[in-house]
Amino acid sequence: MSRIGKLPIKIPSTVDITNENSILKVKGTFGTLERTIPETIGIEQTEGNLIINLKNETRVNKALHGLYRTLINNMVVGVSEQFLITLILQGVGYRGSVQGKSLVLSLGFSHPVNIDIPDGILVDVVQNTTINIKACDKEQLGLFAAKVRSWRPPEPYKGKGILYKGEKILRKAGKSGKK
């Protein structure tokens, strides 16, 4: 049995959970999320806690136990608190802004980069160089942040690019002069 899978999930009072036909729906103040749960995983709801059980313990089911416990926990946390990823634009002239339903970035190209913002994701640009991305779905949030970052990943010589907050770039020395 998985050590992570055995841990109970605390359910806040603002979150409502329903499980019908192996489809788990989690509804909270920031939205509603759905996920299909395999038949081999059982879900018990008791007094503000959610417990994930296995119906039969095979190698595959044991592997899924901790995974689905973590996925369900991320759903509960997402609809009650939301997840946040902060991106920092580092470089001369690098800046961003939100125009309608798209994120417009100036990244040193000859043209501005327009990235459509998916539904369920909130983007806020602070001081032109800091982008706060919020969503209740952690998976969708991570994919969108990675898509934005892929336009200018940080480079090791000058440290320019789009960085996650708190990310450290290992710098290289570069060319040495003629002797």
Pinpoint the alpha helices (H) of 7-160: 59-80, 138-149
Domain annotation covers residue 179: no
The whole-number average pLDDT for the span 135-151 is 95
- Which residues lie below 8 Å from residue 83, measured CB to CB, with a gap of 6+? 74, 77, 134, 135, 136, 138, 141
105 and 49 assigned to the same domain: no
Please give the pLDDT value at position 46: 87
Domain annotation covers residue 93: yes
Q: Is residue 1 pLDDT above 60, yes or no?
A: no
Please give the pLDDT value at position 173: 86
Q: What residue numbers bound the domain in which 135 lies?
A: 83-164
For residues 33 and 71, is the Cβ–Cβ distance under 8 A? no
Q: What is the CATH number of the domain that holds 45?
A: 3.90.930.12
122 and 134 assigned to the same domain: yes
Please give the pLDDT value at position 179: 58
pLDDT digits (tens, 9 = 90+) for 27-67: 999 999 999 999 888 888 888 898 888 888 888 888 888 89
Domain annotation covers residue 130: yes
pTM: 0.88
Domain annotation covers residue 171: no
The whole-number average pLDDT for the span 8-13 is 90
